[in-house]
């Protein structure tokens, strides 16, 4: 996939540009990445404040096409060499231990590549780290895989320092190699409540059963939801310069409840959600959501200001499942999920904010369960938000179909396409 390029002069030199600044998922630490050199072969510096911490320097051009691609159509790109600039001990606070500062800095420098406008839309970067410890980190976490064209190879976690790695875009945005303190998913009950006893890291698949209303299905038992009020997800949105955070809504939190009730009672939101009513109605709805193991109500904010509401759930137990189970050309998997979304505050409306928050909701859903292969949606036909989603999410329109309360467009978003093509900046 070609990278985004700005116009340059005829010499091929790249004009000075403002660094791209970004915060890590904890929202506390800010870094920058800056490009220098020629437009065809830029070098990248990564730093914090006025200090340059690391660099990506272009070396020779190497093949970045898989081994089965014919030589006459194979693609080539710069091999980026990573090295740490600091002479003394690092003190960035990226990871939870001073012993892993170098690994945390490498992950942050990789993060910077996937945010910089010159290279963020590439499918992969070819890199060399020239350090056996860092090479083993890339291989063991899956953040990097050894290129099939690398002169140095390994089938174990012991990796030669000069091995050429491929850093795939989808691996990074799936969370590969992230420090425990810097994951986008901020709460996993199996890990945060009982550290050291997470087991496999995935809730085991066990037989469950739901019967009620339009639903009668066998499905896996769903993992427990974090307690109401828990921070679920956090990501810095570069194009807005603000931190987006998603919380499990807490109906006993006066601020959460006041915002939710006011949003649902507004004419604009009620036109789509049809949940207008007195406080008792809203409390009853949120209590039902909390009691239902398949769905979770969330509230999100921009830099501390509450902005809107989300629902995330598993499709098999959802009321919509019986309407899409036949003649819709979609097979619902046991761990497939769906989402619902509204912007509550008028000042936080707009295409970019909608895109960033809606994509983050889906990002969280995919990350919270690695077995989710697709997201299913059924937005009302004719809504302008559907056109906005099409611009930044590689979703597939399946067909129009009828629900008891609306005519919907059935959409499906595949996991692999989302992580390869989603707009994460």
Which residues are catalytic, by number?
378
Q: What is the spatial distance between Cα 84 and Cα 309, in angstroms, rounded to a whole number?
A: 42
With a CB cutoff of 8 Å and minimum separation 6, the contacts of 350 are: none
What's the order of all strands across the beta sheet hosting 145-146?
A: 20-23, 30-37, 42-48, 51-63, 76-84, 124-128, 165-168, 145-146
Write the DSSP assignment of 161-221 as a string of letters. Answer: TT--EEEEHHHHHTTTT--GGG-SB---HHHHTSTT--TTSSPPP-EEEEEETTEEEEEEP
What's the order of all strands across the beta sheet hosting 305-314?
A: 231-237, 242-248, 295-302, 305-314, 337-343, 374-377, 406-414, 396-403
Q: What is the spatial distance between Cα 338 and Cα 366, in angstroms, rounded to a whole number?
A: 10
Closest CA to 319 of 212, 210, 214, 209: 214
Closest CA to 17 of 42, 49, 53, 52: 42
Say which DSSP state 93 is in: -
Q: What is the spatial distance between Cα 156 and Cα 376, in angstroms, rounded to a whole number?
A: 38
Asked whether 330 and 376 are in contact (CB, 8 A), the reply is: yes
The enclosing H or E element of 386 equals helix 384-392
Q: Interior CA angle at 11 toward 14 and 116, to 5°?
A: 20
Start-to-end C-alpha separation, the chain = 17
Asked whether 152 and 35 are in contact (CB, 8 A), the reply is: no
With a CB cutoff of 8 Å and minimum separation 6, the contacts of 96 are: 179, 180, 181
Crossing angle (nearest 10°) for helices 351-368 and 384-392: 60
Sign of the torsion angle spanned by Cα atoms 173, 241, 239, 37 = negative
Cα R_g (the chain), whole angstroms: 23
Tally of helices (H runs) and strands (E runs) in the chain: 11, 18
């Amino acid at each position: 996939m070609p990278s985004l390029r700005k116009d340059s002069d005829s010499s091929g030199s790249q004009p000075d540009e403002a660094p791209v600044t970004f915060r890590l998922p904890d929202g506390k630490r800010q870094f920058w990445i800056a490009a220098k050199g020629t437009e065809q072969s830029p070098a990248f510096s990564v730093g914090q404040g006025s200090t340059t911490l690391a660099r990506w320097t272009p070396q020779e051009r190497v093949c970045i096409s898989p081994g089965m691609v014919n030589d006459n159509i194979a693609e080539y790109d710069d091999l980026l060499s990573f090295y740490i600039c600091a002479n003394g001990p690092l003190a960035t606070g990226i990871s939870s231990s001073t012993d892993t500062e170098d690994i945390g800095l490498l992950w942050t420098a990789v993060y910077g590549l996937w945010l910089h406008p010159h290279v963020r839309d590439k499918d992969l970067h070819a890199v060399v780290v020239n350090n056996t410890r860092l090479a083993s980190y890339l291989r063991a976490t899956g953040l990097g895989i050894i290129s099939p064209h690398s002169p140095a190879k390994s089938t174990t976690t012991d990796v030669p320092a000069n091995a050429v790695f491929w850093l795939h875009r989808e691996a990074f945005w799936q969370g590969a190699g992230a420090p425990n303190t810097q994951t986008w998913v901020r709460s996993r009950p199996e890990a945060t409540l009982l550290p050291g006893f997470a087991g496999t890291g995935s809730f085991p698949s066990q037989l469950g059963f739901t019967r009620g209303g339009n639903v009668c299905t066998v499905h896996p038992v769903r993992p427990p939801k974090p307690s109401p009020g828990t921070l679920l997800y956090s990501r810095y949105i570069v194009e807005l310069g603000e931190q987006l955070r998603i919380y499990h809504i807490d109906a006993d939190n006066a601020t959460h409840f006041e915002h939710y009730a006011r949003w649902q009672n507004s004419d604009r939101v009620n036109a789509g959600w049809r949940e207008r009513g007195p406080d008792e109605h809203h409390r009853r709805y949120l209590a039902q959501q909390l009691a239902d193991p398949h769905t979770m109500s969330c509230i999100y904010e921009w830099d501390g200001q509450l902005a809107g509401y989300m629902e995330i759930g598993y499709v098999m137990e959802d009321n919509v499942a019986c309407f899409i189970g036949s003649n819709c050309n979609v097979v619902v998997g046991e761990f497939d999920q769906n989402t619902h979304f509204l912007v509550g505050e008028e000042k936080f409306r707009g295409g970019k904010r909608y895109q960033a928050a809606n994509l983050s909701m889906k990002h969280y859903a995919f990350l919270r369960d690695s077995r989710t292969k697709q997201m299913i949606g059924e937005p009302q036909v004719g809504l302008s938000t559907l056109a906005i989603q099409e611009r930044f999410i590689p979703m597939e329109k399946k067909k129009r179909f009828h629900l008891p309360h609306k005519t919907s467009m059935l959409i499906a978003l595949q996991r692999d396409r989302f992580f390869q093509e989603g707009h994460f900046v």
